Every structure is written in C-alpha cells, then in structure tokens.
Amino acid sequence: MAKPLLAVTLGDLQAFGQRTGYLPLNVGAALKLPPKKDRLAERILSETQVHRILALEPNRRNQALLRLLYAGGLRVSELATHLVQATLGHASVATTGRYLHARPTDSSARYLAV
C-alpha cells in the first residue's frame, strides 16, 4: 500500500473509531496529507482518439457498441446491465469487476461472464 493511501486509510479508521466511541479522540486529525492529484484529464480520450478507435475496430457489432458507449456517455457496466435486462428480461442485474449477476427471480441466480 502506498504511503499516502496508508495515511488516509489510518486517518479514516481513527475518525471512525472516534465517531463510534471506541477512541476518545482522533489523533489522525492532526495529520497533514499531501493534496490528491486530479488525474481525470489523463483518462479522457480526445475526439480524434475516439474516431481512431472506431476506425480500427473491424467488427461492426463492436463498432456499434463503442459508438453507443461514447454517444451515450455510458460505462461498460451500464451498457451490459441494460442489454441483459432488455434481452433476458431480468429485473435484477448487478455487475462486479468480473461477473454480471442476473436474477430472473428472487429465488434464482445466474452468473454470466463479462
């Protein structure tokens, strides 16, 4: 674990301990943490990069999905959830990092690889 992350984690734990009454005071409140760098701009693709990705994708189905994701501003998990709900009719759909969990009814469950 990186040092700033460890400091934040310990500070949060101490604040939680103080709020819940397990610790008499929050000694982590005196810590001065370095400001978190905003790296959002590094993850945003330019319009040219998006057009290049679309042009290099040979599969028309994948191109359509990429266009839908970009035009709708959707996350992959949001698109997968909507597709499963629309095609399979499942009311309860949730995603994890690795699986799409679809429940047709409350008593059954099925895992679909993402």
Tens of pLDDT, residues 45-63: 888 998 999 999 999 988 9
Report the SS3 class of residue 95.
strand
Q: Specify whether 79 is located in the same domain as 110.
A: yes
Which pLDDT score is estimated for 27? 79
Q: Specify whether 68 is located in the same domain as 81.
A: no
| Residue 56 belongs to domain spanning | 44-73
Q: Specify whether 84 is located in the same domain as 67.
A: no
For residue 8, is it within any domain?
Answer: yes
Report the SS3 class of residue 102.
strand
For residue 104, is it within any domain?
Answer: yes
For residue 10, is it within any domain?
Answer: yes
Q: What total number of domains does the chain contain?
A: 3
Please, what is the average pLDDT of the chain? Answer: 78
pLDDT reading at 84 higher than 80: no
Tokens, residue 48: 């040219």
CA 7 to chain centre: 23
Q: Specify whether 91 is located in the same domain as 109.
A: yes
Eight-class DSSP state of 16: H
